[in-house]
Chains A and B, each alone.
Chain A
């Protein structure tokens, strides 16, 4: 047991000491901090920077333009009433002729006074004149949509006023309608149901766990495999295998790497928590209605179980792959299948967040290499019978047991095979010869 911890300590210490490790950890921490604070940073720029767009129109007493002027005026009044309106209408005096007016407005655009202008035509049956918005930009859909909405409200207000409704009636007409969703358990003795807030938090937790599991597997898996290959190619392996039993050596390495990844991940979580709890972010968090106390402890427990089992399953397999390859250059190719499998599990889970009860999800939640990703999704978002969870975990544990046995054999055998990548037949034959 003693030498196991020696290997763990040595592996972890050397990783922690490595400059590359420290630098990447710091860089990621900085990126996370920026990411968390980004909404706040943007809002700081927002107040000064995001001015309303100015739109010009011709204000005229001319009869032909009276309809247009009235529409323009009411739009101007509408936007001026609003707080933080996105649009602002600017009136320009009539110069007499259409050409002169156009020239004047174009000059205004050139002078950066306005972004574009509205031109009015003949009156149409919808109550407003024909309108066109002219500007130097293309595809100003959001702006015209905004104008449309404003005009609709103006028209509604006018008609309602004419109909003689009371203010309460108007308010009632405008009141928003709400439907809340509650996820319930149909099985007996199931929990009382999950409120939208709880669902949101669960969804967040699942997202978080899936992404972290994936990242932990990809980074540490590659590290474990490449460390073993490096030991093999530098022939330290021959000395190691004659010093410590292969099982201890391999698991010491895996566990050491796990310690490294876990502390790295915890460091990131702490960075996130510290950033989130900063005064200016606390408001934003409560605004998003995320209450961390609403996390279901059972789900958290399951999340940890699936994280650990998933990690160790992939780590042992990566170790086996690393011990077959004898040069670091060949490693990428050899770990490819593992990477693809973990990617597949990750994507099945991420893309099924909106459809957690599909057949694909149900089936893959029992397949050991996918289940750490997928089962946690089902647990968080749907109501899973206990036996299914138990079966999934059971299958996972059996697979880990088999993987450990086979990987240790491959490790013991593979580390002494040099030269070309050995064929399956050679590996099988050699494996029979070694005790673990």
Chain B
């Protein structure tokens, strides 16, 4: 039984449909990516999963059970906007929030210390949140979401406002959580994070699901249409090979558009005849390209 199953869920605000028939399943130890442009319905979906708002139709099941107050302690939530008491010390509020989710005071305190060590900021234990920088507040926010050892964690834009070093730190922590068996529902605008972390994704566009499935399968649906070629000397006549749709000269060499994968072999042979090849790659489409292809044209 999957920890989180969302089935045919709908939400309307007045005449406006915020979420239309979204379905997704998150297994144990999986990070599920929820993608979409601004206003696509990601946050609404997450709020419904959290029970903050009720769906107008469909069902959400947690380990096969419907939403109830007992589920609360099993959920962790990292909201998009910071949600902490600015004037209260880090230790006080994290312990408080964990206690509310059924953890003992001592346990919560110990776990908080572990997490602060993990993020290399043990000195924040006694600081007030308003004294911390935005990125560090985000770390505390992250701790607030996971300190009570939830089995399902909802992360809305987890990495926003962080520098690259801290993004890596947080990413490795998220992976750790995943490997420990936590189910994570994850939303972001940054496609490279999704490619690195998620097995399955759903792309929302204007309240509708436009693309859904495992990243591998999705990528297979999109043909490989690009070849990267780096050579020691310049190569002539690439444009004249049949099946080539375009050649762009880049710093690293050539970026060649192709009609299908078979053309790649032609290009390789053609180039080898003229020069030594240092790099040849038939690129699969990036998620970014897929996202822009499915959503971008109609993006508001």
Measured CB to CB, the residues of A under 8 A from B are 2-3, 6-7, 10, 13-14, 231, 234-245, 416, 433-434
Contact = CB atoms under 8 A, between A and B. Distances in A.
Contacts of A416: 52-53
A244 B100 contact: yes
B72 A242 contact: yes
Interface in B15-48: 47
A334 B64 CA distance: 43
Interface stretch (B1-9, B84-92, B192-200, B288-296): B84-92
Nearest to B80: A235
A14 B97 contact: no
B84 A234 contact: yes
B227 interface: no
B54 A235 contact: no
Contacts of B92: 10, 13-14
Given A14-B92, A234-B84, A235-B81, A243 B52 contact: no
Most buried by B among A6, A237, A239, A244: A239
Nearest to B51: A242
Contacts of B54: 433-434
Contacts of B85: 231, 234, 236
B112 interface: no
Given A239-B79, A240-B97, 10 more contacts: A10-B96, A234-B85, A238-B77, A238-B83, A240-B100, A243-B72, A243-B73, A243-B97, A243-B100, A433-B54
B82 A242 contact: no
Nearest to A429: B14
B144 interface: yes
Contacts of A234: 82-86
Contact of A239 (B51, B69, B73, B97): B97
A interface, over-half SS:
helix
Given A3-B99, A7-B100, A239 B75 contact: no
7 contacts: A234-B83, A235-B79, A239-B97, A240-B97, A242-B50, A243-B72, A433-B53
B101 interface: yes
A238 B141 CA distance: 12
Contact of B100 (A6, A237, A238, A434): A6
Contacts of B50: 242
B101 A243 contact: yes
A242 B77 contact: yes
Contacts of B47: 238
A7 B97 CA distance: 10
Nearest to A7: B100
A313 B97 CA distance: 28
Interface string B98-119: 0111100000000000000000
A207 to B, nearest CB: 37
Contacts of A239: 77, 79, 83, 97, 144
Contacts of A433: 53-54
Nearest to B100: A243
A245 B102 CA distance: 13
A241 B81 contact: no
A241 B52 contact: yes
Nearest to A252: B100
A10 B77 CA distance: 20
A244 B77 contact: no
Contacts of B73: 243
A235 B51 contact: no
A239 B101 CA distance: 10
A13 B47 CA distance: 30
Given A3-B100, A6-B96, A243-B97, A238 B52 contact: yes
Contacts of A235: 79, 81-83
B138 to A, nearest CB: 13
B152 to A, nearest CB: 11
Contacts of A231: 85
B83 A236 contact: yes
A397 B207 CA distance: 46
Nearest to A236: B83
Contacts of B84: 234, 236
A234 to B, nearest CB: 6
B52 A242 contact: yes
B9 to A, nearest CB: 15
A186 B54 CA distance: 60
Contacts of B100: 3, 6-7, 240, 243-244
A90 to B, nearest CB: 68
A19 to B, nearest CB: 11
Nearest to B144: A239
Which 10 A/B pairs are nearest by Cβ-Cβ distance? A235-B83, A243-B100, A6-B99, A244-B100, A236-B83, A10-B96, A242-B50, A235-B81, A239-B83, A243-B101
B112 to A, nearest CB: 15
A16 B96 CA distance: 16
A245 B70 CA distance: 10
A14 B73 CA distance: 24
A396 to B, nearest CB: 30
